[in-house]
A and B are shown apart, each in its own frame.
Chain A
Amino acid sequence: MLAAVSSGWYLSLGAVLFAMGAAGLMVRRNPLVMFMCIELMLNAVNLTFVTFARRLDDVGGQVVVFFVLVVAAAEVVVGLGIIVSILRRSPAATADDASYLRG
């Protein structure tokens, strides 16, 4: 059984990764890169769920990660569809140019 690294380290790594994703989301203006930062945050949450699944001996945490993966896939499909239609219109668009929520 591997138990050399306590779950606090994993949780801290997840916290730092989440903060980096959040900071990147606020700093970057390219919609594609902002989307990647959202993926970073989702992965930080997944890591936290798996850590708690191990810590509490509870498979439910892993099942939730499964759902997060599905929701992330659906979100990427729809989000990239929206980004494609924004960038087709103006290839240099940033998030500021898409602030009207209409075509």
Chain B
Amino acid sequence: MVEVVVFAIAALVVLGGAAGVILQRNPVHAALSLVATLFGIAVLFVAQEANFLAAVQVIVYAGAIVVLFLFVIMLLGVDQADDLDAEPLVGQRPVAIALGVLIGAGMVLVVATSTVTGVPAASERWVRNGEDVAQIGRLLFTDHLFAFEITSLLLVIAVVGAVLLARTRPGPQVDAEEDVPVLPGEVVYEEEE
């Protein structure tokens, strides 16, 4: 009974937040709706006994990624409302909504009509005694060690890429009116309007 109530409330928060991300005109409001969705997902993780992942979800997603989004929105000053009515590509919106409904309905149908098969690997058996951190860590540093090391490489590449992308040219400070180069050694092309 408890889980039914928790699931219902969390599902409402998740879907409401997702609807907010899609429908809010202001990117700041969309980011805050995203926080609601991420929190709901974290609650659903707890409901499924994935406590460590719920904590990581809140810290990494709500704490880091959304803050990064908000920083970008605020620093660039792009927090004015979008014009949701403009539709440059004729028929894009109805087709997109139809495709979305089709994807959702199709996947729900698959879930509703199929049975889950498969046997868990013996080494990855989940022993539910509350020590999910120890179990995830053990698996991470044995079976998935190579992927874990590749992950560190990925993070280094991401940091280097971000620094390279955010770098401005040495020389006089650019002002707001001046065109800022996008990449070092960039190709300048005429804006066609």
Contacts and interface: CB of A to CB of B under 8 A. Distances in A.
B14 A103 contact: no
B172 interface: no
B64 A23 contact: no
Contact of A40 (B34, B47, B128): B34
Contacts of A12: 107-108, 111-112
Interface residues on B, range: 35 or more
Given A12-B111, A36-B30, A81-B166, A57 B125 contact: yes
A18 B125 CA distance: 28
A69 B56 contact: yes
Contacts of B1: 4
B69 A80 contact: yes
Given A16-B104, A18-B107, A66 B82 contact: no
A59 B135 contact: yes
B108 to A, nearest CB: 5
B161 A20 contact: no
B-side binding surface: helix, strand, loop or mixed?
helix
A58 B119 CA distance: 9
Interface residues of A, number: 81
Contact of A70 (B48, B96, B151): B151
Contacts of A69: 56-57, 60-61
A65 B57 CA distance: 10
B22 A24 contact: yes
Interface string A56-90: 11111011011101111111111011111111111
A58 B120 contact: yes
B2 interface: yes
A39 B18 contact: no
Contacts of A18: 103-104, 107
A70 B155 contact: yes
Contact of B132 (A43, A59, A85): A59
27 contacts: A4-B4, A9-B11, A12-B108, A17-B15, A17-B37, A18-B104, A20-B19, A29-B82, A32-B72, A35-B69, A36-B30, A46-B57, A47-B44, A55-B116, A56-B116, A58-B126, A59-B125, A62-B52, A69-B57, A70-B155, A73-B65, A81-B162, A85-B165, A89-B179, A90-B191, A102-B186, A102-B189
Interface of A: 1-5, 7-13, 15-24, 26-30, 32-33, 35-37, 39-40, 43, 46-47, 50-60, 62-63, 65-67, 69-78, 80-92, 94, 96, 100, 102-103
Q: Which 4 A-B pairs have the closest CB atoms?
A: A23-B100, A19-B104, A26-B96, A81-B165
